[in-house]
Amino acid sequence: MNFAWMAWTLPTALFFGTILLVLIGMGVWEYASPGGAPRVGILGIETTRGDRLFISLLGSAFIHIAWLGLTSLNLWWALVLSLIYTVVVFRYV
């Protein structure tokens, strides 16, 4: 197969590889401790680990898109902001 049309660069491969590893890690965590530890956080809705992962991935995507559109700073700062956002989501949502 020719995947040249996908423009696979090292950062792109690392990005998708990281998401794959996170999903595998969450699967192992769910296998080891079933149920996802549902809780009601600051959103006022019951969320599980999977819900919080989805919220953090979606929010991180928006952070990166906004970063690209609104600043000319290096994307590493957006990554740092996204990691902080993920910790906050897993802690308080």
- Domain residue ranges in the chain: 4-92
Beta strands in the chain (DSSP E): 39-40, 46-47
The model's pTM:
0.81
pLDDT tens per residue, range 35-65: 777 899 998 999 999 999 999 999 999 999 9
Q: What is the mean pLDDT of the chain?
A: 90
Structure tokens, 3 = 């995947």
Q: Across the chain, which distance is largest between two alpha carbons, in Å?
A: 47
Helix, strand, coil tally for the chain in percent (to 5)? 70, 5, 25
Which residue in 91, 22, 24 sits closest to 57, CA to CA?
Answer: 22
What local confidence, expressed as pLDDT, does residue 82 receive?
Answer: 94
What distance in Å separates the CA atoms of residue 58 and residue 86, rounded to the nearest whole number? 10
Q: What would the mean pLDDT of 6-31 be, rounded to a whole number?
A: 87
